[in-house]
Structure 1
């Protein structure tokens, strides 16, 4: 646990008692704070009370009179589309609002005086690929013999980790919900993978969404910034952080060739290249890395490689670790091969951009797609539709989703069971049955993991019947 500093003897309120909220309450208490808690779920309140926390209705008059800070869980809206009533009451009372990420950064540096090498923090954000990039950085560090902990939006709650040891590295995946509100953001290395429209209602539009991501780089100023520059927002961010073309505090990452005197890592035709000061200093053939298929995963590999190079790892030890990376569940996860047909679970492709990258990774696809559609429509999928032999559409909005896919054959299946069965029956050797929904899962599943698990279960039925 990382005890929270700065609130010894103060009263702090915690809103939301899921994984991050309850761990924040424990860490605040370990740091000497008096902690009040609230969650709309009675069972969550009872669990917290069983640990000795006082539950208080935080919307009642005077609830914030003694409170020094409100700590809120990331899923609770604080601005758009409307503030949660508890957060609105805190703001009205002039009480600062923070989250567990902000508490982590303000509390991490205690007890490092005797270390030869101070611990480092690598923080990763972006629309797509941040989980794979985070896990890949952690994997490379671990295989290379470096102490590493993975936390934040993946792995453990950030305040649940052990205090890092001498030279240890904390790898944090951070969502826009987390970066938007944290009052302290001071990583040593910050990574921006890419940007595509997502969570726009929560951030009041694309500008607010980008601004939430940008805070990771603007609030504290990392020693090194790894920036994906395939989109205009990344190029803009890199330009804002850099003092000139040769400023190697910014490492530019792309899926096409880059040039110039700066530090850059790019993947072209399956080969990763590192250039610095106008000359190539590293190269890896990514085509042989089974756990990272497709251009989008090559971008993730470039970002992870750049972050590890910023931590002084060598190109060859990074390359060795890449080959043992198995990938993450529900992200380009190869499930089975039956009769020459491969089955790939990319349930995490919850938006159009992620699904497009998944389609482009395979030449012939039987595509299982659909779910709760997001703003912006499906037009951006057009470059990948040439790879689709047929789409099998699931979800409550299956008919409407299918209408948004002109020019390809579609079948409205609604359920995962029927979609997988139909795709398996029609797939030819060499094709891939790919779950890449391009939509949220909440119309049929609690989360994208449950959707992916259903796909895996249906593929197991197909494999058992073969």
Structure 2
């Protein structure tokens, strides 16, 4: 646990008692503060009381008397589309509003660091797609290289639940726009921006607000090194803002598909090969094509980001290359879950929108595609340019009939259930083909979340291959 500093003897309100909220309450108490806890859910309140935490109804008019700050969980709106009433009341009274990320950066440096040979460092990863894989890959590379490392944030533990870092340790954080937008302190040593595509637009009042939330990690965080994906205009804009000029190697530009040779430091992947360039010269190259845990151009971008971040931390290219080969991938993200008779089965249940599904469809040449669920606005019409690799689609869930109408000349079968879709795709698949679950839809019509959907697919595959 990271005890929160700066609030000893003070009352601090905590809104939202999920994983991050409970961890925040305990870290505040460990730092000598008096946490005042509330959640709109009676179930969450009961869970907090079961852990020995006391509650305070923050919806009462007098609830903020003597309160030094309000700490809110990331999922609770504080501005758009409208502020939660408790947060709105805090803002009216001038009570500072923060989140656990802000408390972490405010509190994680400790006096004992003065005796460390190498002070601990923090790497923070944000972006629209690839955050989790990039974060896990950085953590994996560090561990494979024998470097102490912890992983937290949107993946792994809550940030305040980690152990106090030891000498030379690196803490790798995955941060969403919800977290970067509100944190009052943001001071990573290395910050990573993977890419940007439309997401959470209601929460940020449009794409400009969404990008602004991501940008705060860099503009206000002031990292020593900034690793920035420049395949979209927003990334190029951000790199231009952070760098003094193209030769400024404090900014490491990354790309999947573009050559980036005219900069002080760049890492890019083209035709399956990662290349590192510094000051006009290529200094390293890695063949990514045989790395099973990182298939497709989108994962090659993740590899570039992780490579650049760990190079910024001082790791040698050979060490990084060895670690890339031992990375198994994350569950539900281009995860290889089975292989038999020349047919691979890939679980990409996390592909809940057309953008992430498009990346999955571009990763393999011949695909038996399992798609469907609770479709989003526009369905899968935007995937038309990426259907050339699809041998046949097997459609499930609520949106199966709608998706069928948007497939054009692509053969399809409406299967309704995961059990039938997996069985039919496996029965039809030929040597060299991939059975790919990339739903391009939410899971809520048949499953509580994308993880349960992916677990069902994995279980069906295991049964078929047994």
- TM-score, with length taken from structure 1: 0.96
- What SS does the corresponding residue of 2:330 show, helix, strand or coil? coil
Structure 2: state its 5+ residue gaps. none
- What SS does the corresponding residue of 2:172 show, helix, strand or coil? strand
Distance 2:169 2:341 in 1: 46
Alignment of 1:181-200 (within 5 A): 181-200=182-201
- Equivalent residue number for residue 7 of structure 2: 7
1:419-454 superposed Cα distances (whole Å, 9 cap, x missing partner)? 212222222222111011122222322221111001
- What SS does the corresponding residue of 1:392 show, helix, strand or coil? strand
- Equivalent residue number for residue 273 of structure 1: 275
- Equivalent residue number for residue 300 of structure 1: 302
Which of these residues, 433, 442, 458, is aligned with residue 435 of structure 2? 433
- Equivalent residue number for residue 108 of structure 1: 108
Displacement of 1:378 after TM fit? 3.0
Contact 1:369 1:436 in 2 (8 A): yes
- What SS does the corresponding residue of 2:115 show, helix, strand or coil? coil
Structure 1: state its 5+ residue gaps. none
- Equivalent residue number for residue 136 of structure 1: 137
- Equivalent residue number for residue 76 of structure 1: 76
Distance 2:205 2:404 in 1: 28
1:331-371 superposed Cα distances (whole Å, 9 cap, x missing partner)? 11111123332110011112212111111110011111122
- Please say which of residues 376-385 and 112-121 is displaced more in the overlay: 376-385
- Equivalent residue number for residue 286 of structure 1: 288
1:98-150 superposed Cα distances (whole Å, 9 cap, x missing partner)? 11111100101122221221110000011111111111110111111111001
1:216 equivalent in alignment to 2:230: no
- Equivalent residue number for residue 24 of structure 1: 24
Displacement of 1:49 after TM fit? 2.1
Displacement of 1:412 after TM fit? 2.6
Displacement of 1:375 after TM fit? 4.2
Distance 1:240 1:375 in 2: 34
Displacement of 1:38 after TM fit? 1.0
Distance 1:297 1:458 in 2: 25
Distance 2:79 2:136 in 1: 30
Distance 1:229 1:182 in 2: 25
Distance 1:379 1:232 in 2: 24
1:154 equivalent in alignment to 2:148: no
Contact 2:379 2:402 in 1 (8 A): no
Distance 2:13 2:403 in 1: 43
- Equivalent residue number for residue 264 of structure 1: 266
Distance 1:186 1:405 in 2: 47
Displacement of 1:162 after TM fit? 0.8
Distance 1:208 1:443 in 2: 30
Change in Cα spacing, 1:405 to 1:63, as seen in structure 2 (3 Å) is: farther
- What SS does the corresponding residue of 2:305 show, helix, strand or coil? helix
Distance 1:50 1:335 in 2: 38
Contact 1:265 1:274 in 2 (8 A): yes
- Please say which of residues 74-83 and 274-283 is displaced more in the overlay: 74-83
User: How many equivalent residue pairs?
Assistant: 464
Distance 2:58 2:204 in 1: 24
- TM-score, with length taken from structure 2: 0.96
Following TM superposition, the consecutive aligned residue runs of length 4 or more in structure 1 with deviations greater than 4 angstroms are: none
Contact 1:36 1:53 in 2 (8 A): no
